Structure 1
Amino acid sequence: MSKNDPYAALRIKEFNIFLLVRFALVFGWSMQFVVIEWQVYALTKDPLALGIIGLCEFLPAFLLAPFAGHIVDKKEKRNLFTLCIALFSLISFGLFWLTSSTVEATWETSAILYGIYALVFFGGVLRAFFGPTIFSLIALLVPKKIYPNAATWSSSTWKGANVFGALVGGFLIAWIGVHYTLGIIFLLVMLALLLVFQITKKPVLNKGRNESVKESLKAGLSFVFNDKVILGALTLDMIAVLFGGAVAIFAVFAKDILDAGPKGFGLLNAALSSGSIITMLATTYIPITKNTGKKLLVSVFGFGACMIVFGASKLLWLSILALFFSGVFDGISMVVRQTILQLKTPDAMRGRVGAVNSMFVGSSNELGALESGIAARIFGAPLAVVLGGTVTLIVVGIIGVKNKPLRKLDLQQDIDAHENDH
């Protein structure tokens, strides 16, 4: 195997199965989100109802994440992943059933709506466990020297499934309707459940420690907040998504600023996503382990600069170009961050660090959408995006100057040191 083998992780059978499972789940989850949003708006005609969906998923995922991390570190990862998928299948089947003609004919609209909210809330509870479980399991499937390659393939799979799931979900609603689309999602989850049994059980690396829940949570949070590299990487990502992202108000740009209509709206989303996916796949060939810290800082800075151009643009082609390159920089920063976390986290703490990561990233997505909406209402959409991009650049500058361990980080040295130890 060559030193920079782009397919290193794909030569491991169990990792391939893991990628198939992850693709099926994220593809289904992404489709499900689009379908639920469509169905809830069709039932209520109220934009606030869409906000409640986000809140129902965000609250349990955020609040339970630290406890989920503690449990993940104590339990066998393959079985825990299997249990999460099995419970997710119940949510998918529940939504399929709630949208059946029988239920729609006999239930009140409000009862159906509350049923959907309850299932979404249950999904939020599961989301708290999915993140740290997946983060922990990857490290048990591949040797440490190919963590960067595995992180790249895993992130690319997640992003690709997320994008194509949303796209296919929209087409399927138009083609076969909400009910049968949810039926396909249920079948996808069942396929993932069958596949996951092809992965063998893994050793529990934290079993012997008899920490209380409080001690365990404190140890996990202390590790993250005392490690300048991990804390810096998570902070950069959170700030970029919280202030620099503008996905939630793309519709405003397409309709009111660029006068591009629904097709323009689709192009804006596609430009951002395609930039991310292309870059993630490129990083399997171009190693990102040398001068890792500088690459992370430059990629987040580039993302912020592109968002400023997008916010100031009045031309559709320039807006699409700015979003494409913001996706390119976002793809690099995502792969770099995942690689840093995989290589810098001790095996016995992966669940808790994965949980803190999901709190940072998960919360910034939902809160970022809220921030974009409020800022656009106060300043207008273009100025809101320009200001958000500017905040991102300022934070990158501060972290670049103040956080020397992150700025000087070179993961290739860590990998070489680990190989020399063995």
Structure 2
Amino acid sequence: MASSLLSLKTYRHFLASRLGSFLAYQMLAVAVGWQMYDLTHSALNLGFIGIAQFLPQLLLTLVVGHVADRYDRRRIVTLCQGLEGSVALLLALGSFFHLLTPTLLYVGAFCIGAGRAFESPSLQALVPSLVPEEDLPRALALNSSVMQIGIISGPALGGFIYAVGPDAVYATCAVAWLVATVAIGTMPLLRKVENKQPPASLEFLFAGIRYIREKRVILGAISLDLFAVLLGGATALLPIYAKDILHTGPWGMGMLRSAPAVGALLMSVYLAHNPLQRRVGKIMFGAVALFGLATIVFGISSNFFVSLGALAVLGASDMISVVVRSSLVQLETPDAMRGRVSAVSSIFIGASNQLGEFESGVTAALLGPIPAVVIGGVGTLVVVGLWMRWFPQLTQRESLVNKPA
């Protein structure tokens, strides 16, 4: 990473906010998942947590894009992180006084999903205004590195703190979100982006969807992520794997949830120093195929350390796909539309993660956890083959920056 980028006070504030938010979200995910399984012992209930988080993202997609393109993106992020911290505090109080039920956990997950629905696209659209265009791929890799630190530390901390009680985890999440809110709220802007947009209309709201549909490279990249992670994601089943298959406790689940982020962090650090230069399309497809293979290995493993290794490989391969997809979306989209395009991209990402958790929960309830994960991994490999055929523009993409011939 260029020294000029590292010296930006603005970007340091941004990264601190990103770290605090992801740290809190990952700790909360461990606590909610483990507490739900303790209360219900049901794979299906674990899947419904994903649905509760995804619904607000789906319902608010068009509104989110409109808001991110018309209003101060920094202020939007500040309000969202404040909301998420407040929800975590309420969960802490509810757990401390033994008032939490599965229904209240779903409500909490829904509110967190609503906050993240606005926060994620606003953050994504904010990054290009903080760094020069030529530094964007490296900035995204550095951003991903910090994010992965939160994803690694969050589950591990959540698992260990859960030994004290779920209320302690939720309270820690509230503090982390408070730190994130202060960091982004006091961030000095490098340059202000003028969001002079026409009045809201159906044409304006649907412009992001139309833009992605017309840009085959972007459509192929984000839909590949959608279907690959939708089928291959197994994080919703980690409480079952930890307790019933690998025979460990909350700390073990925290390590399992951290393992993909460890692999992703190592890969993001590598990509920050060695950005992809050639054959980015083929590299992306190869990475997603490796993601599917790692999912299959995790599904059939009954050894804790083999499972950790498979999840680390899964995270490293996913990080390659994330950097390629994020760079293509940001570099191929004009700033005036980044909020709407990022909102649509976020719904694809949210669908892949949260709907993937629901799909895993339903399949595990019907077939058992091991067949559910293995079938998902095989499905990911099928998707890779189909997308290489259906999106030749993405397969043949040589570099992240589309240079005219």
Residue by residue, what CA displacement relative to the aligned partner does 1:192-219 show, whole Å, maximum 9, x if unpaired? 222223323563444242341x112221
Partner residue, 1:173: 162
> What's the RMSD between the two structures over aligned residues?
2.9
Residue by residue, what CA displacement relative to the aligned partner does 1:329-388 show, whole Å, maximum 9, x if unpaired? 112111221111121121111111111111111112122122223334445544443332
Match of residue 17, structure 2, among 4, 7, 21: 21
Residue by residue, what CA displacement relative to the aligned partner does 1:265-302 show, whole Å, maximum 9, x if unpaired? 66654443322221111111111143221211111122
Q: Letter of the aligned partner of 1:87 in structure 2?
A: L
Secondary structure at 2:198's aligned position in 1? coil
Structure exhibiting the larger radius of gyration computed from Cα positions = 1
Report 1:214-233 matches (<5 A). Answer: 214-233=202-221
Q: Which consecutive residues of structure 2, in runs of 5 or more, have no partner in the other structure?
A: none
- The 8 Å contact of residues 7 and 284 in structure 1, kept in 2 or not, is answered as no
Shift of residue 308, structure 1, vs aligned partner:
3.2
- The 8 Å contact of residues 9 and 149 in structure 1, kept in 2 or not, is answered as no
- The 8 Å contact of residues 224 and 353 in structure 1, kept in 2 or not, is answered as yes
Q: Letter of the aligned partner of 1:142 in structure 2?
A: V
Match of residue 333, structure 1, among 321, 344, 354: 321
Partner residue, 1:75: 71
Change (3 A) 1:255 1:178: closer
CA distance in 2, matches of 1:218, 1:229: 19
CA distance in 2, matches of 1:220, 1:380: 39
Identity %: 35
Taking structure 2 as the reference length, what is the TM-score of the superposition?
0.87
- The 8 Å contact of residues 46 and 236 in structure 2, kept in 1 or not, is answered as no
Partner residue, 1:31: 27
What number of residue pairs does the alignment pair up? 401
Shift of residue 49, structure 1, vs aligned partner:
5.2
CA distance in 2, matches of 1:287, 1:35: 36
Partner residue, 1:137: 126
Moved more, 334-343 or 184-193: 184-193
Shift of residue 316, structure 1, vs aligned partner:
5.6
Shift of residue 100, structure 1, vs aligned partner:
4.3
- The 8 Å contact of residues 6 and 285 in structure 1, kept in 2 or not, is answered as no
Q: Does 1:149 align with 2:145?
A: no
Change (3 A) 1:116 1:301: closer
Q: Letter of the aligned partner of 1:57 in structure 2?
A: Q
Q: Letter of the aligned partner of 2:377 in structure 1?
A: G
Q: Does 1:351 align with 2:339?
A: yes
Residue by residue, what CA displacement relative to the aligned partner does 1:175-196 show, whole Å, maximum 9, x if unpaired? 3x33344333222222222222
Change (3 A) 1:237 1:6: farther
CA distance in 1, matches of 2:374, 2:41: 29
Change (3 A) 1:348 1:228: same
Residue by residue, what CA displacement relative to the aligned partner does 1:3-43 show, whole Å, maximum 9, x if unpaired? xx46663232211110001111111122223334445556x
- The 8 Å contact of residues 307 and 385 in structure 1, kept in 2 or not, is answered as yes
CA distance in 2, matches of 1:196, 1:362: 23
Match of residue 228, structure 2, among 233, 237, 240: 240
CA distance in 2, matches of 1:182, 1:27: 12
Moved more, 377-386 or 260-269: 260-269
CA distance in 1, matches of 2:28, 2:306: 32
Change (3 A) 1:84 1:320: closer
Partner residue, 1:90: 86
Change (3 A) 1:189 1:325: closer
Q: Letter of the aligned partner of 1:81 in structure 2?
A: V
CA distance in 2, matches of 1:228, 1:280: 26
Match of residue 62, structure 2, among 59, 63, 66: 66
Shift of residue 236, structure 1, vs aligned partner:
1.3
Report 1:314-329 matches (<5 A). Answer: 318-329=306-317
- The 8 Å contact of residues 36 and 102 in structure 2, kept in 1 or not, is answered as yes
Partner residue, 1:294: 282
Shift of residue 234, structure 1, vs aligned partner:
0.7
Change (3 A) 1:396 1:52: closer
- The 8 Å contact of residues 363 and 369 in structure 2, kept in 1 or not, is answered as yes
Partner residue, 1:125: 114
CA distance in 2, matches of 1:322, 1:401: 28
- The 8 Å contact of residues 324 and 400 in structure 2, kept in 1 or not, is answered as no
CA distance in 2, matches of 1:26, 1:355: 18
Change (3 A) 1:228 1:207: same
Partner residue, 1:404: 392
Shift of residue 230, structure 1, vs aligned partner:
0.7
Match of residue 285, structure 1, among 273, 282, 299: 273
Shift of residue 140, structure 1, vs aligned partner:
1.1
Change (3 A) 1:211 1:204: farther
Q: Which consecutive residues of structure 1, in runs of 5 or more, have no partner in the other structure?
A: 418-422
- The 8 Å contact of residues 148 and 289 in structure 1, kept in 2 or not, is answered as no
CA distance in 2, matches of 1:282, 1:410: 20
Moved more, 218-227 or 243-252: 243-252
Change (3 A) 1:323 1:97: closer
CA distance in 1, matches of 2:228, 2:7: 34
Change (3 A) 1:80 1:293: same
Partner residue, 2:192: 203
Moved more, 114-123 or 136-145: 114-123
Partner residue, 1:420: none
CA distance in 2, matches of 1:186, 1:270: 20
Secondary structure at 1:411's aligned position in 2? coil
Partner residue, 1:189: 177
- The 8 Å contact of residues 73 and 205 in structure 1, kept in 2 or not, is answered as no
Secondary structure at 2:192's aligned position in 1? coil
Moved more, 248-257 or 24-33: 248-257
Shift of residue 141, structure 1, vs aligned partner:
0.8
CA distance in 2, matches of 1:15, 1:93: 28
Residue by residue, what CA displacement relative to the aligned partner does 1:119-150 show, whole Å, maximum 9, x if unpaired? 43322221210111101111111111111011
CA distance in 2, matches of 1:247, 1:194: 30
